Amino acid sequence: MASLITTKAMMSHHHVLSSTRITTHYSDNSIGEQQLKTKFQLPHRLFARRIFGVTRAVINSPAPSPLPEKEKLEGERRCHVAWTSVQQEKWEGELTVQGKIPTWLNGTYLRNGPGLWNIGDHDFRHLFDGYSTLVKLQFDGGRIFAGHRLLESDAYKAAKKHNRLCYREFSETPKPVIINRNFKNPFSGIGEIVRLFSGESLTDNANTGVIKLGDGRVMCLTETQKGSILVDHETLETIGKFEYEDGLSDHMIQSAHPIVTETEMWTLIPDLVKPGYRVVRMEAGSNKREVVGRVRCRSGSWGPGWVHSFAVTENYVVIPEMPLRYSVKNLLRAEPTPLYKFEWCPQDGAFLHVMSKLTGEVVASVEVPAYVTFHFINAYEEDENGDGKATVIIADCCEHNADTRILDMLRLHTLRSSHGHDVLPDARIGRFRIPLDGSKYGKLETAVEAEKHGRAMDMCSINPLYLGQKYRYVYACGAKRPCNFPNALSKVDILEKKVKNWHEHGIIPSEPFFVPRPGATHEDDG
């Protein structure tokens, strides 16, 4: 997830820092008309050339210091640069532009994601484990300045100090420090339970998203509430924790991707004790969240469904309840299970809930086919009777065909060793239809034929002016097969069921970010 802090054209997402793309689309619907592409590991080097309308920014910096011997294994030598750790804690410089950057594009584009996957002699297992690295691209009159800096979270600072993992990451649990090998503490398990449910052992490694609050503060996020960290968008320095003033932090976890506007922020707080979700709202300029309402899980499972993101319409919040559920027993394991902190429970059903923003009332709760999604795209209200009253909500997401293998495919060993193999699980744009007439069931359909975008779909964005409104275009990462990770950029016309793709051999792009052109009259004019 990304944020754009702007001065003129307001460019107000987590993933691979080694390759970042910002794409500008003009109203002729051509995805290749004008693109800025920066291929980085920032501390290494950036390349530039112009091919088929693709504009690259490039700088060559001094060669990085040699990698440690342990990183020179056969698999490492063959792996893509995207899956290697950054070699400098911070870096900045001006990029040389070949091509033309729109003169109206001025501001600072920020993103974060995992950038350091080892500490001491310990190599992390999963893409999501890496310590957060904050990246910026600053646009100024056709010039581009770039930089990155590792986020100074408590987890990262402790790891640097002790040269070992000290907090629970996505797939990692710190090994206990053994003082006396002949003594076994019978209460150590109880202590770990206390540390887990108090949040003490959970990470604050904010590697999942960047948001700009309505009052201008910039915050990096992850799925733990303690991982809400303020940063300086100009220097990339870590300012400190965002201190919530509402007594809700004892619930420990949150949606990684809140919905933020100039006036408010909406997010979901899963409840692990009484399975369900609190829907909360925070006004711009405030540190206090208010609970708008609560949804109880319908499945009867011991844990709520994972809620990495969600969607809103003009009047409603759409709350997903996936069969991929938080599992307390898996959270307590010293070694990860195949699904890490989750378990797959399709037999318990899959659901979507709709809550009124105004009253907190749950106005719809429907069962739908099983689904797996990291990222919702958008949602809107539809008036099928023409009387001005919404009868159905349409909610779109990047849906992985109810296939949990995507989590396993994001293990670093898999990403590093399966380059060139067609092992990326299929994905599509899943479209939910949620009736507002009290029906028990909703629908899940494929919005656009998945083959048109390479059967891959994730890291999505839309024109932000269409948030919660009926819209037409999705910008996301698709695929050109064979691949083990999304390796293309796709512009999807949901109305006409058309897709335009961009791919270049050896490149791993990250999510596109759409910036509307000032004065634009078309949704894709930007």
- pLDDT score for 190: 59
Average pLDDT score over residue span 61-88: 57
- pLDDT score for 270: 96
Average pLDDT score over residue span 494-507: 96
Comparing C-alpha atoms, which of 259, 296, 297, 253 is closest to residue 281? 259
Lowest mean pLDDT among 182-196, 361-375, 511-525: 182-196
- pLDDT score for 192: 58
Would you say 375 is a known binding-site residue?
A: yes
> pLDDT band at 2, cuts 50/70/90?
low
- pLDDT score for 98: 82
DSSP, collapsed to helix, strand or coil, labels residue 186 as coil
Give the β-pairing of 316-321 and 324-326: unpaired
Lowest mean pLDDT among 150-159, 431-440, 499-508: 499-508
Vertex 380: Cα angle to 374 and 381 (nearest 5):
140
- pLDDT score for 516: 97
DSSP, collapsed to helix, strand or coil, labels residue 443 as strand
DSSP secondary structure code for residue 512 in this structure:
-
How many whole angstroms separate alpha carbon 137 and alpha carbon 153? 22
pLDDT digits (tens, 9 = 90+) for 242-270: 999 998 977 789 999 999 999 999 999 99
- Cα maximum dimension of the chain: 76
**Token couple for 216:** 């201008």
Comparing C-alpha atoms, which of 377, 411, 418, 406 is closest to residue 394? 377
Which of 435 and 79 is assigned the larger pLDDT? 435
- pLDDT score for 51: 25
pLDDT digits (tens, 9 = 90+) for 29-52: 333 333 333 334 433 322 222 222
> pLDDT band at 310, cuts 50/70/90?
very high
Place of tokens 């870590």: 238
- pLDDT score for 195: 58
Q: 51, exposed or middle or buried, with CB in 10 Å at 0-12, 13-18, 19+? A: exposed
How many whole angstroms separate alpha carbon 429 and alpha carbon 418? 25
DSSP, collapsed to helix, strand or coil, labels residue 281 as strand
- pLDDT score for 476: 98
- pLDDT higher than 80, residue 526: yes
**Token couple for 284:** 């711009």
How many whole angstroms separate alpha carbon 435 and alpha carbon 219? 35
Which of 158 and 300 is assigned the larger pLDDT? 158
- pLDDT higher than 70, residue 13: no
Contact 51, 502 (CB under 8 A): no
**Token couple for 292:** 């708008």
Would you say 413 is a known binding-site residue?
A: no
Give the β-pairing of 54-58 and 34-38: parallel
pTM to 2 decimals?
Answer: 0.86
Express as a percent the part of the chain with pLDDT over 90.
71
How far from 496 is each of 62, 70, 113, CA to CA, in Å? 48, 51, 33
CA trace torsion 473, 476, 481, 483 (10° rounding):
-170
> pLDDT band at 196, cuts 50/70/90?
low
**Token couple for 35:** 């693109």
Contact 425, 432 (CB under 8 A): no
Which of 198 and 166 is assigned the larger pLDDT? 166
Helices (H) and strands (E) in the chain, counts: 6, 32
Average pLDDT score over residue span 317-335: 89
- pLDDT score for 4: 55
Mean pLDDT (the chain) is: 85
- pLDDT score for 81: 87
